[in-house]
Amino acid sequence: MGNLDPSVQEFKDFVNKHPKIVREIRKSGRSWQEYYEKWALLGESDPYWNEFTEADTTDNHSQHKSTNENEEKDLISQLMKYTQKIDVDKLQGQIDQLSKAVGSVQEMVSQFKSTGPKESPKDPFHWIKD
């Protein structure tokens, strides 16, 4: 590990100062090479890198947690709205129709199974014999 090129080591230190770069690379699927080249061309002080700095990780974590809680609350409220819009009588009618259709199909299948193929005589041409 001590044999790294000095510029690569500097980039490593830079990435440690900008942890959002790691998340962005994992999320986007872009290569480390792409970010290394940008770092080499733009330098560390370029405004491009401002979006990758984290001011306070605990503050960011609590903000992320509250965002997740809000998303969960939104999802639950949407589900509640959908369930309130459901007409139970209409749903019951559709379930009854589906049940009748399944029953009809089962009855037809059982009729076909009970009739089955008729046995044909083993020698259908036995009357031709001399």
pLDDT in tens, 15-71: 888 888 888 888 888 888 988 988 898 888 888 888 887 654 445 555 556 677 778
Residue 118 CA to its chain's centroid (Å): 52
pTM of the model: 0.40
The pLDDT of residue 24 is 87
C-alpha pair distances (Å), 40 with each of 5, 48, 54: 13, 13, 21
Distance CA 60, CA 55 (A): 8
Q: Is the pLDDT of residue 123 over 70?
A: no
Question: How many angstroms separate the CA atoms of 101 and 95, rounded?
Answer: 10
Predicted confidence at residue 113, as pLDDT, reads: 86
Confidence tier at 96 by pLDDT (50, 70, 90): very high
